[in-house]
């Protein structure tokens, strides 16, 4: 049996998207011949919302090591609030001890808290152990370089330079790459030719059916967020200016419908929930201002505060239909695709023409309404869909027979296949590194 040490700063009960890969893979690693231990930051140091029900999905017997972090109360005064920066020293101390006292075949970094990943360079050099990086999002990116300053994320000047430096140091020594998009891998290998030959694999997040069972079993524990007597269309996930190109044609169709058939289209209520990663009450709306500018403030609401994962699933199940907007970044694949699909509700997805998400949706289910936002007929197509929904003509999606290919179990197998390739490649090329 092989052993992998997984680095995932956020972990249940913290409710964050970037721990979902690890959480939904843990039940299956042993089945594929690997024991997996996880090193996480103790939830007391996490500013993210907590969902205790997430712990029900973690297999009994999973070894989870918890590290401390510097208090955000103090580090935030210096602009260093990220859990990655606050926990790096404690990660080094813990993982150094684990690698000294135990045998692990591989380190697997799966998170978007990328600064911690630079420690993998040290662990590889000191303990002769290869590491794999899971690129769930870009680490260093030029996306905002040509954007107005008012669209820059907080502390962008500092984070841009830090990420550029740390990515270069870390990627040049990496032994394998997993990513949700081939473009992420292509960009990195073009940027760092030295890793051109290392093993790679494109693996989306997987569908984890037990989550629906846990959510439904605890339905009565959650407050209802939708409005009775209206047609509730729900999106739960991050917002951002990069989603305006997907949201705007929907709002234009809604706007036109209100002018031509006000009683019919006035039944809609669009809910955008959990659109910010900021601490509770600190998020800045990015969708509602667009709705307000188009006169749709009565039909659109946005709550930046995140809700618990299972509360989100119950809310998706309670919706009349779901809305899944994409980004103007062609490589963006939303992590919530599979939870959306598992609800089997009527769904409108609006994406970039080059988004890999469209292929995932077409291969996973029948009935999803997919609209490309940069095509001339986007608004007219959405208008027809909304007209049907206004008349309560909802067409539930149907999972295709091949949907099992996108299950968390099957995609854990793909991760393990990549691990084995990394070990083989490392033995041939890096044992003296």
Local mean pLDDT, 10-residue blocks, the chain (433 residues):
97 93 97 98 90 95 96 65 90 98 98 95 97 92 73 72 89 96 93 96 92 93 94 96 96 97 96 89 94 97 94 96 92 82 95 87 91 95 97 94 90 98 91 50
Which residues neighbour 38 within 8 Å (Cβ) at sequence distance 6 or greater? Answer: 5, 6, 8, 11, 22, 26, 62, 63, 64, 65
- Give CA–CA dist 92/81, Å, rounded: 19
- Give CA–CA dist 352/375, Å, rounded: 9
- Give CA–CA dist 15/335, Å, rounded: 13
- Give CA–CA dist 170/186, Å, rounded: 16
What's the pLDDT at 407? Answer: 93
Which helix (DSSP H) or strand (DSSP E) does residue 126 occupy? helix 119-127
Phi and psi, residue 221, nearest 5°:
-80, -10
Name the pTM for this structure: 0.81
Phi and psi, residue 332, nearest 5°:
-70, 125
What's the pLDDT at 116? Answer: 95
What's the pLDDT at 353? Answer: 87
Q: Please give the structure tokens belonging to residue 362.
A: 């077409």
Q: Please give the span between the terminal C-alpha atoms of the chain, in angstroms, as a whole number.
A: 25
- Give CA–CA dist 410/11, Å, rounded: 22
- Give CA–CA dist 420/29, Å, rounded: 13
What's the pLDDT at 246? Answer: 96
Question: Closest Cα partner for 326 from 298, 351, 358?
Answer: 351
């Amino acid at each position: 049996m092989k052993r992998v040490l997984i680095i995932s700063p956020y972990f249940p009960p913290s409710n964050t998207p970037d721990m979902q890969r690890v959480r939904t893979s843990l039940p299956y690693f042993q089945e594929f011949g690997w024991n997996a231990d996880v090193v996480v930051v103790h939830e007391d140091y996490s500013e993210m919302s907590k969902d205790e029900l997430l712990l029900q999905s973690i297999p009994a017997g999973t070894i989870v090591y918890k590290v401390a972090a510097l208090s955000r109360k103090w580090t935030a005064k210096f602009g260093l609030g990220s859990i990655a920066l606050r926990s790096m020293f404690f990660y080094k101390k813990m993982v150094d001890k684990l690698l000294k006292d135990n045998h692990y075949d591989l380190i697997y970094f799966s998170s978007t808290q990328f600064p911690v990943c630079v420690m993998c360079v040290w662990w590889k050099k000191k303990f002769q152990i290869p590491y794999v990086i899971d690129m769930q999002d870009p680490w260093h990116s030029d996306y905002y370089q040509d954007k107005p300053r008012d669209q820059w994320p907080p502390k962008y000047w500092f984070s841009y330079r830090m990420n550029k430096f740390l990515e270069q140091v870390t990627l040049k020594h990496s032994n394998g790459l997993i990513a949700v998009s081939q473009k992420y891998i292509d960009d990195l290998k073009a940027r760092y030719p030295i890793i051109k030959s290392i093993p790679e694999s494109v693996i989306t997040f997987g569908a984890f059916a037990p989550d629906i069972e846990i959510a439904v079993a605890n339905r009565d524990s959650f407050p209802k967020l939708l409005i009775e007597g209206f047609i509730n269309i729900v999106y739960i996930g991050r917002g951002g200016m990069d989603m305006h190109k997907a949201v705007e044609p929907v709002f234009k169709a809604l706007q036109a419908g209100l002018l031509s058939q006000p009683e019919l289209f006035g039944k809609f209520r669009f809910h955008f929930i959990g659109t910010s990663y900021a601490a509770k009450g600190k998020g800045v709306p990015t969708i509602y201002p667009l709705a307000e500018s188009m006169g749709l403030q009565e039909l659109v609401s946005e709550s930046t505060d995140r809700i618990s994962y299972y509360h989100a699933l119950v809310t998706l199940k309670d919706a009349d239909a779901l809305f899944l907007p994409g980004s103007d970044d062609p490589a963006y694949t939303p992590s919530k695709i599979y939870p959306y699909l598992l609800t089997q509700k009527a769904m409108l997805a609006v994406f970039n023409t080059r988004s890999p998400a469209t292929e995932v949706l077409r291969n996973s289910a029948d009935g999803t309404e997919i609209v490309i936002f940069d095509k001339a007929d986007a608004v007219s197509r959405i208008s027809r869909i909304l007209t049907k929904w206004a008349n309560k003509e909802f067409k539930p999606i149907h999972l295709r027979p091949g949907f099992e290919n996108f299950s968390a179990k099957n995609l854990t197998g793909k991760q393990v296949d990549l691990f084995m390739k990394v070990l083989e490649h490392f033995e041939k090329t890096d044992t003296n590194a």
